[in-house]
Amino acid sequence: MVTEKRSFCRLCGSFCAFIATVEDNRITAIRPDADDPVSRGYMCLKGMALGRLHHHPNRLDQPYMRVDGRLSEVKWDAALDDIAGKLRSIIDRHGPQAIGAYAGTPAVPCASLNVWRGFMASLGSPQIYSTVSVDVACGPLVAERVTGSPMMIAQPDSDTRMAVLIGINPMVSHGHNYFMPAPKLQLKQWADQGELWVVDPRRTETAELATHHLAPWPGSEFALLGHAVREILRDGADRDFIETGVAGIDALRDAVDRFTLDEAARLTRLPAEALTGFVAAIRRAGRIGVVCGTGISMGAHANATWFLGWALMGVTGSLDRPGGSYFNPGFARNYAEQGWTPMDTTGPGPASRPDLPSRLGEYPCAALADEIEAGNLKALFIIAGNPVLALPDTGRLLAAFAKLDLLVVVEMMETATTAEATHLLPGTGQLEMSDITLWDFLNPLEYARYAERVVEPVAGRRPLWWMLREIGRRIGVDSGVPDTVVHDDDVIRPMLPHARAGFDVIRQSPAAVVGGRTHGWVAPHLPGGRWNLGPADLLAQVATADMDGADMVLTPQRQRARVNGLMNDGLANPRRPERPELHINPGDAAAMGIAEGEMVRVETDRGHVDVPARIERRYRPGVVSLPHGFDQANVNHLTDARDTDPLSGMPTLGAFPVRVRKRPADNP
């Protein structure tokens, strides 16, 4: 029988709507939903490949367990009994705090995967890790300091007069933190009706649509923004907004005073005219929208730069105002009505890393290897994640994983991480899960959309809630999943206590339920009714941020047809698969005598990676890039889990110094 099912893609936060054709529980076609008011008939290559991903030969169908060093297929009961037995003995000897969980990116957009948090809460273990601490740890930190809530995200308004995109490439990524379905439509609108500035060491696909592109030295953007804040405070600031709506302005003024034109030019390595041109554009526009991406959040000065973006919107009176920036209160979260109690979610960090905090109730991923090495962590659940490729200092992490008594990986596919598992549990994939958009507040519209599962799970694949309930029952811990749960809907329904429409209304609606765009709702909820632009710890970082004078740095980038460690085999663009390559500027390559395709060695003090060179005019001189997520050439062999930010706990994964040379002869 042939049927059509509406659904939405959860490979990134844009949640593009599509219609799947299903024949006998097989997906035969996927086409974008032209009527959807949010994604407007747009889907990228990766979303279009969801059907092929679903039927991929590497999909896991049965549980596996390590027996005599080898992963062998077993029955569910055997795997669960063995896991439970080991958990019990770990709890008896070391307590529940020796059990941890790491959740990967898909555990965020897939609502029913969120049950792992309830399980960990019942267990009473603080060993909670997620990709937030290797992705955008600075974002919630800065939001919390400025607004009292870690969940506030400033987006350039859809009709902002000047959009400033720093280290973000929505034409490829569709956004970061703030997502952008159908990115070209929005980018062109900004460029056509105002100005679109892109700040990136790479002349990106987004930069090609921009009215202006700046390529400062990677990691120095705090100085570009600091200089602009300084100059706008002298001439061009929105005095009324500052007087009535902002706190801490004197402290901000003092902290940015160091960013004179000369100093900013020295730090950014930009000509003075580029800096004065940027300030002049801000004065012309009056109101602006600034957004940063992973190009900033992975870098050593992430907090300072992210914060100065907010500060620049603050001094221009652009925060939460039309023509400036927009804050989506969320259809599901409904922050405009719910508000928040001002919070500081920084807490004590893990024992083995006294230099690190916990944030948002989680330990930083940078501490994972330390916690295992110190014997504090004996068992780890990995939920829809690939830490072997995603976390810093792979060599050390692999050695630490080998010391665990139990490494339970809940996955869809075989990955570099499943190869390390003691137990491998086959999860349902997104087309086998019903879902709802809990994260619309990261999108440019306030809306809700439900998707019923497109196909029934086959073979031994099971939902995560079922696995956790089975394990909880066996070890006598309340998994947080009641026996009454028989369908994904039963776990999703209670996740919407504040939504602007009830679960059943959203579920029964054939299309997205759209709630519009609200401005001016944030200020009434701010502590004292004011945006705090003078948080002491962030300003201390602004006042002391400096550059180390490196002459070659490595920066991160996403690629069109892969998502992190997924789709490395060219699934989404078989004709031009993206391979691991070191992207290098032609001048740098020539100076080192490196030819296109030649093997080069990239080195840091942590390790090295050998990879073919790809000559790329898009990069500015001195900047190379090796995208993350490749098993064969894993950039995280170069990164250091000890090189962390003390406030956010984030390791430096971007704009770090590297040495590049031709690969030494195999037998020197």
Residues at the interface with ligand SF4 (CB under 6 A): 9, 11-12, 14-16, 43-44, 46-47, 174, 181
Among 39, 105, 112, 443, binds ligand MGD (CB under 6 A): 105
- Smallest distance from ligand SF4 to CB 461, Å: 21
Is the CB of residue 171 less than 8 Å from the CB of residue 336? no
Task: List helix spans (H) across 286-339.
Answer: 294-297, 302-315, 335-338
Question: For residue 437, which phi and psi values (nearest 5 degrees)?
Answer: -80, 100
Residue by residue, DSSP assigns 115-135 as: HHHHHHHHHT---EEEGGGGT
Is 444 an interacting residue with respect to ligand MGD (CB under 6 A)?
Answer: no
Is 134 an interacting residue with respect to ligand MGD (CB under 6 A)?
Answer: yes
Q: Which stretch binds ligand MGD (CB under 6 A): 30-38, 318-326, 551-559, 600-608?
A: 551-559
Q: How many CA atoms lie within 13 A of 507 on its CB side?
A: 13
Is 435 an interacting residue with respect to Mo ion (CB under 5 A)?
Answer: no
Contacts of 47 (CB under 8 A, 6+ apart): 9, 11, 16, 18, 30, 32
* Neighbour count for residue 532 (Cβ, 10 Å): 23
Is 133 an interacting residue with respect to ligand MGD (CB under 6 A)?
Answer: no
Is 655 an interacting residue with respect to ligand MGD (CB under 6 A)?
Answer: yes
Q: Which stretch binds ligand MGD (CB under 6 A): 72-80, 277-285, 424-432, 587-595?
A: 424-432
Q: Which stretch binds ligand MGD (CB under 6 A): 98-106, 114-122, 400-408, 656-664?
A: 98-106
Is 106 an interacting residue with respect to ligand MGD (CB under 6 A)?
Answer: yes
Which residue number, 169 or 352, has a Cβ lying nearer to ligand MGD?
169
Q: Which of residues 133-172 bind Mo ion (CB under 5 A)?
A: 135
Strand stretches in 529-652, DSSP E: 531-532, 553-555, 582-584, 599-603, 608-615, 623-625
**Cα 598 from Cα 487, distance rounded (Å):** 53
Q: What is the DSSP letter of 392?
A: S
- Smallest distance from ligand SF4 to CB 200, Å: 19
CB closest to ligand MGD, residue no? 295
Which residue number, 135 or 432, has a Cβ lying nearer to Mo ion?
135
Which residue number, 51 or 293, has a Cβ lying nearer to Mo ion?
293
Contacts of 475 (CB under 8 A, 6+ apart): 84, 87, 88, 91
Closest by CA position to 11, among listed 446, 412, 577: 412
Which residue number, 21 or 573, has a Cβ lying nearer to ligand MGD?
573
Which residue number, 525 or 558, has a Cβ lying nearer to ligand MGD?
558
* Binding residues for Mo ion, total number by CB under 5 A: 1
SS3 264: helix
- Give me the 276-315 binding string for ligand MGD, x by CB under 6 A, dash otherwise: -----------------xxxx-xx----------------
**Cα 316 from Cα 94, distance rounded (Å):** 54
Which residue number, 131 or 352, has a Cβ lying nearer to ligand MGD?
131
Among 145, 558, 583, 606, binds ligand MGD (CB under 6 A): 558
Question: For residue 338, which phi and psi values (nearest 5 degrees)?
Answer: -75, -30
**Cα 632 from Cα 613, distance rounded (Å):** 14
Which residue number, 91 or 128, has a Cβ lying nearer to ligand MGD?
128
Which residue number, 11 or 99, has a Cβ lying nearer to ligand SF4?
11
As a dihedral over the C-alpha atoms of residue 168, residue 174, residue 178, residue 181, rounded to 10 degrees, the angle is: 150
SS3 617: coil
- What DSSP element (H or E) covers 144? helix 138-147
* Cα distances (angstroms) measured from residue 623 to each of 215, 264, 652, 659: 10, 19, 16, 11
CB closest to Mo ion, residue no? 135
Is 11 an interacting residue with respect to Mo ion (CB under 5 A)?
Answer: no
- Smallest distance from Mo ion to CB 626, Å: 17
Q: Which stretch binds Mo ion (CB under 5 A): 110-118, 132-140, 156-164, 254-262?
A: 132-140
Which residue number, 135 or 440, has a Cβ lying nearer to Mo ion?
135
Closest by CA position to 127, among listed 321, 354, 363, 286: 363
Contacts of 57 (CB under 8 A, 6+ apart): none
Which residue number, 86 or 562, has a Cβ lying nearer to ligand SF4?
562
Q: Which of residues 14-43 bind ligand MGD (CB under 6 A)?
A: none
Is 12 an interacting residue with respect to ligand MGD (CB under 6 A)?
Answer: yes
Among 100, 218, 324, 535, binds ligand MGD (CB under 6 A): 218
Is 296 an interacting residue with respect to Mo ion (CB under 5 A)?
Answer: no
Q: How many CA atoms lie within 13 A of 3 on its CB side?
A: 10
Q: Where do contacts with ligand MGD occur on this chain (CB under 6 A)? A: 12, 46, 104-106, 110, 131, 134-135, 166-170, 172-174, 176, 199-202, 204, 218-219, 221, 293-296, 298-299, 384-387, 389-390, 410-413, 415, 427, 429-430, 555-560, 562-566, 628-629, 635-636, 639, 653-655
Q: Where do contacts with Mo ion occur on this chain (CB under 5 A)? A: 135
